[in-house]
Structure 1
Amino acid sequence: SAFGTRTDWYRNILADPGVRVRVGRKEFKAFAETSTDPVRIADFLDYRLARHPHMIGMMLRAEGLPPSPSRQDLESLAVDKALVILHPEEDS
């Protein structure tokens, strides 16, 4: 979450981590795991940057990071961010 833990939707997930997700015509139930750990968020950003360098690079530059951010850059950015990991239910 770009706005960290202050958003209503994030607070709703904390109150009830059972969520329903819709992507296009597909819908499924999931458990939403939250994390504010800068190392874990930086790991996610690093992974996404490796897979989608152009798109994620543009997003990171919009946050003020250099074109090739260091690990420290990613961890510093992640300090006030939040991550939500979706674990789909088996029968969804």
Structure 2
Amino acid sequence: MKTFHYIVKGMVQHVGYRFYVGMRARKLEVSGKVRNLDNGDVEVFVQSDDFKKIDEMEKIIYKGSPFGHVDEVIRDIKDMEEMNDFQMVY
């Protein structure tokens, strides 16, 4: 399935970013996951057949949580197996 993949740079760890993105993803009913990377970035995968939901998730990813800030987002598209829900990996 077409999967939107994001690497998010900035003050995005230890500020509730994963929780913020994860809760909004679940509310929008998109699939995927969000996790911290060892270098301080956050990685996000988003799947949905509804491109309006993908656009809304992109806005959320770029905005970030109220307690941090996003400096840069790198986006690409991958072909991955379908995910059934949205996971916040801790």
Fold shared per TM-score above 0.5: no
- Give the structure with the larger helix fraction: 1
Higher-strand-fraction structure: 2
Using the size of structure 2 for normalisation, the TM-score is 0.31
Structure having greater relative contact order (Cα 8 Å, sep ≥ 6): 2
The TM-score with structure 1 as length reference comes to 0.30
CA radius of gyration, larger in: 1
